Amino acid sequence: MENEQTVDLEWLADLSKGQSFTHFIQSQPAKTLDFGSDGFTASLSEWGELLQLTRPDPTCGLVFVRGQYPDSAASILARAQSRNVFGDKSNGTFGTELVPRDRESPSPYWNVEIDDRKTQGWVNFRWPYSQYELLHWDIETDLSSEMGSCDTISFVKDGTLFQIHRLNWGVGSSASSSEHQDDMAYAKFKIGGPIRFGCPCSQNPVEEDLQTDIFAITTNGNTLVCRSNNYRTRLETTISVDGIPQVPAPLHSHDAATKVEWVDLTSEHVVDIRVGDATYVVSTYALRADDEDAHGTSLPADLADYLGVSRGSVNMFDRLWTSLCAANYEAIEAVEFCVVARCVEQILGVTSIPTLRPQPTDTGLPDGFAERALIGNIMTFQFVDVESAFYQIRLLAKLHHFIESRDLKEDFLHPYLELEKIRYAYLERLTAAIQSSLAWLFVTDLKPGRLLLAVHSEPSAIADGPLSERLKNCAGKRSRLTWDMTYNRGCYATMAAWYACRMCPSAFSRRFVDETIVPRLPIAYQLGMERAGRDKQPTSKSNVLQWLHLSSILLLYDELGCTENGLDINIDEVRETQERSEKHVSRLKTNQAGGWKAHHDELDRALLLADEMDLDRLQHNSRSYNLAVSRVKQTRQRIRDRKRTSKFLPGPKPWLAARGLSNGPWELQCIHHEAYLRVADVVNVPSARDRLFEFLLSDYSFMTSWDWADNDMVGRWWDIRPVAMVCATLLDLKFEGELVSTEILSKFQFNCLHITQGSSKLRKPKSLPRMLKPLSFLTVERIPSDPMTWSTAKFCNGDPKHLEIPATPLQWSHSCSNSSSHSKTLGKTKAFGCLTGYHNDPQRLAFP
C-alpha cells in the first residue's frame, strides 16, 4: 500500500526535554490517567493500557467501553497500577500494547519488548506521554540488551482516541553506524482486547456479574467495527504502521446471535524495526452512535499545534503556568501550580460533558449557548453532583481572575509567540467553560434522581422502541441509587451563578444574562421554596445553603439589572424570605460537643463560603454581611483549634450513615487538611500545605481518603470536588501573598470610591495583595469643574497626598472584585467608580 503518513512526528523523540512536558511524581501512588476533549474521554493505566473510553449520550449522559473486569473501584485501581500480563493471566484491559516476549516458548518472529520506563508525564497537563527502553533478545543466546527507545503519546481529537508509538533502534553510535544499517528486529503489537459497553446506570460494583449484550463485529475497509445492541453504539478501531493502514483481524470468533457479557477484539501485528529509522505505529479508537458517520483515521495536519508542542502554538499552556511562578521559583511552587493546572484540565477535558437532547424541546435556552454538565467522578460514580459542579465552577472563576491579574514576563520562547496570546486563549477557554456549565445548571430541573438521565425528556415522551426501552430500564436502576437528600442541591446553582458573575464578569454577556440567567431566577426561587416547605427539620447545612441561595438571587437581581426586565417575581417577598433564613443561621448551634464528627465539617465548609459571596453588596440588608463575618470568624477559629484524634468514635447514626458520612479520624480525609490550610496563620501555611500534599498522587491529583474503614474510599479517589477545593485554596493563598507566585499585574483594579450623600463612614479595603501597601484613607482636596476631566491622585507610603475627582455623578467602571468600597461624605456629590493603581510606581494612582 502507498504510504499515507504526511504528518511529521520527529518531535516525539525529544518531547520529554521540551517546554510543554511535565514529569509525574514517580514516588507517589498512581490511579488512572484520565484525559479527553468535548465529552470524549479515555482512561489509561500507568503502563498505557486502556481501561475506559466514554462518549456523550442523550439518555444517560455518557456511554462507556471497558475491559473484562468488574466495576469495583479496587479492580480498576489494581489494573491502573500494575502492568498487563499476556496470555491466560491477562488483566482484561484493552488498547494498543507492545507484546512482551514469551519466555516459555520464544518466537523467532518477534524479539523486541519494552523494559524500564525512562520518563512519564503530561504534555501541557492534558495528554499522557511515556518513554520506555527497548530490549532486543538474541534467540540463540537468550540474552537481552538495550537497543533503543519507545515513545508513546495518547490524545483525543474530534471524538477519536489516538495512540502513537515511536520505536527507535539505536543507542549511541549504533544508530548511525554504517555496519548496522541492515540490522532488523521485529516487534509484535496487540490492539483491541476484551471489551463491553455500559453506562452510569449499568455499573454494579458489588456483584461481579456484568450485564449481557449482543455484539456485531464487522470490518469496514481497514476499520474493525464492534456494535452494541443495548446502546446502539459502535467502537471503531484502526491501526497503521508508518502511514500504511493495516487490517485488524480478531483472533477469536464470535457468535453474533448470542448474548454475552463481553467480546474479544484482540488482533496482533508484527512490525519491522530498522537501525536508524524510526517506526511509527498509530492506532485509533472511536465510540460512535448508530446515526453518526465513521470517524477519520488520519492524523490531524495541525497535530503539533493541537498538542501544543510547537514553539509557536497557542496551546502550549505549560508556558503560561511556568510564567505564573515567581522568578527563581522552588520545586514546591512548581508542584503547586502543577496541581492547579492538572485539575483545571481535568475539569475542562474530562468532567465537562456536552449534553445531547434526544428530541427538540422548549427549554427556554436560545440557540447558540452550549450546555455542559459537570460530573463529579469519571470512573466510579458518573453522575452530576451539583455541589461538586459548584466547586468546579468556583475554581475556574478564581483561576480566570488570578491569571488575568498576573504580570507576565517575557520568556525565551517570546520571539515565536507572545505569552499574552496564550493567556488570551486560555482565558477564553475558561470563560466558555463557565458559561456553558451555568447554562446547563439553569435549564435543568435540578432533581438529583434525574440528573444526566435524559433531563430534557420524560420516558413517556419517547416513542416506543430501543431508546424508550433503555430509558425505562436505566430509570429503574437509577431509582435504587441512594442520594443525600438532607439539603437542596439546587442552592449551589444560584450560588455558582453569583460567584462566577463576581469573579468572571466576561462570562456574563448581555445576551447570556437576558436570555439564560435572568428568566430563570423566578424558577430558582420557586423551586427553592418548594423544597424548603418539604423540609420539616432542615439540617444546619441546609439552612446555611438556603440563606446563601436567597442572597445570591437578590445579588443577581440587583447587579444584573433585573428591575428593567419585568420579571415575574415578588422581590419584596424574596427579601423577607432571605431575612427569615438569615435568622435561622444566626441561631445555629456550632458547638462540637462530644468531639469532631463528619457533619461538623459540612457546616463549617458551608459557613466559610459566606465569606466569599460579597454579602456586603446586598442593597437592602447589611445584617447578612455582619452575620457572615461573625460566623466565618468563629468557624476559622474552630478549625484552627481542632484537636488531633485521640479517641475513636463509634459509627455514625443510621441517618448519617445513609448519607455516606463516616466518623473516622479527620486526619485521614484530604479535605480536612485543606480546611486547615485555608484558615492557617501565615507561619503555619507551609507545614499545613506539606501535610495536605501527603495525599498527592503521581498525576498531581489527590486521593480523597486513607480511611480503610470506608468501603467507598478507593472509589472516591476519582472525585474532582476535593481536588477543586485544594486548588482554589492554593490560588487564594497565592493571591494573598501567603504562598509565593509571580507579581500581580502592575495595573490592578479594586472598588475604591463610593461617595454617597449622608454617609460619614470610610472603610479600608478588606483584601488586597500583601505585596501592595493598602490605602489608609482617601482625602479629597479639589473638585474640578469639568466633569470629563480625568485626574490623578498621588500617594506616598500608602498616604494620599492629592486626589481629584469629577464634580458631577458619572458612570464609572464597577466590575472590580478584590476589596470593599470606601465611602465618605462629600456634600451632595454622588460618584461611583474604580481606582486603577500601579504598584511598580507607588507615587501614581489614576482614574480610568
pLDDT > 60? residue 547 = yes
Q: Which CATH number fits domain 317-735: 1.50.10, 1.20.272, 3.30.1370, 1.20.120?
A: 1.50.10
Rounded Cα gap, residues 263 and 256, in angstroms: 10
pLDDT exceeds cutoff 90 at 651: no
Is residue 5 pLDDT above 70, yes or no?
Answer: no
Nearest to 237 by CA among 252, 256, 251, 250: 250
Domain ranges of the chain: 10-307, 317-735, 746-848
Domain 10-307 belongs to what topology?
Beta-galactosidase; Chain A, domain 5 (2.70.98)
> Between the CA of residue 561 and those of 179, 305, 574, 676, what are the distances in Å?
79, 42, 16, 38
pLDDT digits (tens, 9 = 90+) for 801-814: 333 333 333 333 33
Per-residue pLDDT, 174 = 46
Q: What contacts 269, CB < 8 A, 6 or more positions away?
A: 188, 189, 191, 239, 241, 246, 281
pLDDT in tens, 699-713: 999 999 888 877 788
Burial of residue 409 (number of CB atoms within 10 Å: 0-12, 13-18, 19+): exposed
**One-letter-per-residue 3-state SS of 606-639:** HHHHHHHCCHHHCCCCCHHHHHHHHHHHHHHHHH
**pLDDT for 147-181, tens place per residue?**
888 999 999 999 999 999 999 887 544 444 444 44
Query: In angstroms, rounded to a whole number, what is the distance separating the alpha carbons of residues 70 and 202?
Result: 12
Banded model confidence at residue 141, pLDDT cuts 50, 70, 90: low
User: What is the pTM (predicted TM-score) of this model?
Assistant: 0.85
* Rounded-to-integer distance, Cα 752 and Cα 836, Å: 9
- Strand order, beta sheet including 792-796: 799-802, 792-796, 845-846, 831-838, 747-755, 822-823
CA gap 416, 660 in Å, rounded:
52
* 8-state DSSP, 692: H
CA end-to-end span of the chain: 66
Residues 149 and 238: beta-carbon distance below 8 Å: no
Range from 71-80, 560-569, 740-749 that averages highest in pLDDT: 71-80
- C-alpha distances (whole Å) from 684 to each of 316, 675, 676 are 35, 13, 10
Across 128-151, average pLDDT: 82
Task: Please determine, for residue 28, whether its predicted confidence score (pLDDT) is greater than 90.
Answer: no
Rounded CA separation 224/245 (Å): 12
SS3 annotation, 738-771: CCCCCCECCEEEEEEEEECCCCCCCCCCCCCCCC
Question: In whole angstroms, what is the distance from residue 388 CA to residue 377 CA?
Answer: 9
240 three-class SS = strand
- For 353, the 3-state DSSP assignment is strand
pLDDT tens digit sequence for 364-376: 444 557 889 999 9
C-alpha cell recorded at residue 781: 482636596
Tens digit of each residue's pLDDT (9 = 90 or more) over 377-427: 999 888 888 899 999 999 999 999 999 999 898 999 999 999 999 999 999
